[in-house]
Amino acid sequence: MKNILWVLVLLGHAVAAQSANAEVYRNHLVLDEALMTSKLHFTPKSYATPRLHLTPRLHKASSLKLQSHIALIFDVQTQLPLYNKNTEMVVPIASITKLMTAMVMLDAHLPMDEAVNVTEDDLNKIRRAKSKLRVGMTLTRGEMLKLALMASENRAALALARSYPGGAEAMVAAMNAKARVLGMQDTRFFDPTGLDSDNVSTAQDLVKMVAAARNYALIHQYTTSTSHSVEGLKGRTMRFSNTNPLVRNASWDIGLSKTGYISEAGLCLVMEANINQRPVIIVLLDSWGKRTRVGDANRIKRWMESANTPGQTVGRG
What is the rounded distance in angstroms from the CA atom of residue 62 to the CA atom of residue 236? 52
Question: Which residue out of 39, 85, 146, 152 is catalytically annotated?
Answer: 152
What is 216-282 written as a DSSP string? -HHHHHHHT--EEEEE-GGG-EEEEE-S-GGGG-TT-EEEEEEEEEETTTEEEEEEEEEETTEEEEE
Q: Is 152 a catalytic residue?
A: yes
Q: Which of 175, 158, 245 is nearest to 213 (CA)?
A: 175
Nearest to 284 by CA among 301, 267, 272, 299: 267
In 10 A of CB 211, how many CB atoms?
Answer: 23
Alpha-carbon span 24 to 134, nearest angstrom: 68
The residues that bridge with 268 in the sheet, in sequence order, are: 260
CB 147 within 8 A of CB 240: yes
User: Cα–Cα distance between 23 and 314 in angstroms, integer?
Assistant: 22
Q: Which of 92, 38, 78, 47 is nearest to 210 (CA)?
A: 47
DSSP designation for 188? B
Known catalytic membership, residue 208: no
Catalytic residue among 39, 98, 146, 301: 98
Among candidate residues 68, 95, 257, 287, the one labeled active-site is 95
Residues tagged active-site: 95, 98, 152
